[in-house]
Chain A
Amino acid sequence: MSAATVPLKSDDGRIGLRAHARHTGALVRRNLLWIRQDPESMFDAVLMPIVFTLLFVYVFGGSIGQALGGGQEQYVQYVVPGLMAMMGMNIAMGVGTGFNEDFQKGVMDRFRSLPIGRSSVLLAKISVELLRMLVATTILLTVGVLIGFDITSWPGLFGAVGLAVVFGSSLMWIFLVLGVTMKNAQSVQAMGFLVLFPLQFGSSIFAPTQSMPGWLQTFTDYNPLSSLADAARGLMTGGPIAHDLFVTLGWSVVLTAVMAPIAIHKFRTKS
Chain B
Amino acid sequence: MTRIDKETSGAKGAVTVRGLVKHYGETRALDGVDLDVREGTVMGVLGPNGAGKTTLVRCLSTLITPDSGHATVAGYDVVRQPRQLRRVIGLTGQYASVDEKLSGFENLYMIGRLLDLPRKEAKSRASGLLERFSLTEAAGRPAATYSGGMRRRLDLAASMIGSPAVLYLDEPTTGLDPHTRNEVWTEVKRMVGDGVTVLLTTQYMEEAEQLASELTVIDRGKVTAKGGIEELKAQVGGRTLRVRPADALQLRPLAMELDDLGITGLATTTVDSETGTLLVPILSDEQLTAVVGAITARGITIGSISTELPSLDEVFLSLTGHKTGAAQDAAPAPAYEEVAV
Contacts and interface: CB of A to CB of B under 8 A. Distances in A.
Given A6-B115, A30-B106, A30-B110, A12 B101 contact: no
A41 to B, nearest CB: 9
Nearest to B106: A33
Interface stretch (B86-94, B252-260, B298-306): B86-94
Given A13-B84, A109-B93, A271 B99 contact: no
B16 to A, nearest CB: 18
Interface string A58-76: 0000000000000000000
A12 B83 contact: yes
A228 B110 CA distance: 37
B58 A271 contact: yes
A113 B63 contact: yes
A115 B83 contact: yes
Contacts of B106: 30, 33
A266 B24 CA distance: 17
Contact of A271 (B64, B121, B125, B162): B64
A242 interface: no
Interface residues of B, number: 42
B163 A2 contact: yes
A211 interface: no
B109 to A, nearest CB: 8
B279 interface: no
Q: SS class of chain A's interface: helix, strand, loop or mixed?
A: helix
Nearest to A111: B114
Contact of A30 (B83, B96, B102, B142): B102
B78 to A, nearest CB: 11
Interface string A114-137: 111000000000000000000000
B83 A14 contact: yes
A110 B97 contact: yes
A75 B191 CA distance: 67
B163 A113 contact: no
B113 interface: yes
A114 B107 CA distance: 14
Contacts of B58: 109, 271
Contacts of B9: none
B183 interface: no
B158 interface: yes
A115 B87 CA distance: 5
Max chain B Cβ within 10 angstroms of own Cβ: one of A105, A110, A111, A115: A110
A13 B114 contact: no
Given A8-B87, A105-B100, A106-B93, A112 B63 contact: yes
B114 A114 contact: yes
Interface stretch (A15-23, A42-50, A156-164, A214-222): A15-23
Nearest to B95: A106
8 contacts: A6-B115, A34-B101, A107-B97, A109-B91, A110-B159, A112-B62, A113-B62, A115-B87
Interface of A: 1-3, 5-6, 8, 12-15, 19, 22-23, 25-27, 29-30, 33-34, 37-38, 105-107, 109-116, 269, 271
